Amino acid sequence: MNLIKSLVVALSLSFVPCAAQTVCAAEAASPALVKPDMKQVQTHLKEHQTYPATRAQLLTACQGLMEFSDGEKAWFAARLPDGTYKSANDVLAAIGK
C-alpha cells in the first residue's frame, strides 16, 4: 500500500513540471519578435494599405503578407495600439518609428 501511495505522489509531482512545460511550449510556439525593415513597413503602409484602418484591419492585412516573417508580424502586432489610423504616418508614429 505504501508503494502505491509513493507512486501516486511521484506521479502527481511529475505533472507539475509538465504543466509548466505546456506554458513554455505555448510561448515557444509564438514567434520571436523581430523588428522588420522599417523602410519596407513604410512602403507597404503607404502604397498598399487603405485608410482609415483599425488595428484589427491592419493586423488582418498583415497576416497575408509574404514579405514579412512571422516574427516581424508579431513585432508589429505587439507595438500597434488599438485605434483607428487615418494614414501610414499615424501607424508609423504609433509603432514608434
How do residues 81-94 score in pLDDT, each as one tens digit?
A: 999 999 999 999 99
Give me the mean pLDDT over the 27-48 stretch.
87
- Residue 29's pLDDT is 62
- Residue 28's pLDDT is 53
- Residue 84's pLDDT is 98
- Of the chain, the end-to-end C-alpha distance in Å amounts to 66
Cell of 33: 519578435
Using alpha carbons, select from 96, 95, 74, 83 the residue that is nearest to residue 55.
83
- Residue 24's pLDDT is 46
Q: What is the pTM of this model?
A: 0.67
